[in-house]
Amino acid sequence: MLHYKKFAVVTALLGLMVVGMAATRPHDDDDKPKRNLKVLPKDISHEELDKVMDEWKVALGVKCGFCHAQSKDSTSHHLDFASDAKPEKEIARHMYKMTAKINKKYFSFNKDDKGAVIPTITCMTCHRGNPHPGEVK
């Protein structure tokens, strides 16, 4: 009888441990993939990031896949947004830095009433819906 009770307690404890381990596993880091942001603020919200990406898409007159590579998983038609496989993505980072520099250096007189610099030059200023504004037609 005593023997049986001990067995029951040990089984119950083991059961609790297994349930506990299963409950903590999905909170591991790897279900939240690391972001690969080098020019945009690392803590940018999902909504703000979406807004910026949409602006760039419209400014260049392209689709998301112009800068973002296809996912390596061939059964998926999704884009791998964190991948840097397409050179256009790195060019876009250069363009972002250049645009910020032009605004800071040459348009810093353009401030709102709180003194914050208004971004005068945007991707649209040059691109106007064209990925290659340097081409002479």
Q: Which is nearer to ligand HEC, 17 or 91 (CB)?
A: 91
CB 20 to ligand HEC: min, Å: 32
Integer Cα distance of 37 and 96 in angstroms: 12
Cβ atoms 41, 29 nearer than 8 A: no
Compare residues 35 and 111 and give the one whose CB is closer to ligand HEC: 35
Give me the least distance between CB of 54 and ligand HEC, in Å please.
5
**Minimal CA–CA distance to 96: which of 121, 68, 129?**
121
Give the residue with the Cβ less far from ligand HEC, 7 or 106: 106
Cβ 116 to ligand HEC shortest distance, Å: 19
Type of residue numbered 90: E
**Please, which residue, 48 or 54, has the CB nearer to ligand HEC?**
54
Task: State the minimum distance, in angstroms, from the CB of residue 117 to ligand HEC.
Answer: 15
What token pair was written down for 47? 């909504």
Question: Position 69: which residue type?
Answer: A
- Kindly give, in sequence order, each residue whose CB lies less than 8 Å from that of residue 36, ignoring residues fewer than 6 positions away: 82, 83, 84
**Residues within the interface to ligand HEC (CB under 6 A):** 35-40, 49, 53-54, 56-57, 60, 62, 64, 66-68, 81-82, 88-89, 91-93, 95-96, 99, 121, 123, 125-127, 131-135
Distance CA(49)–CA(116), nearest Å, equals 21
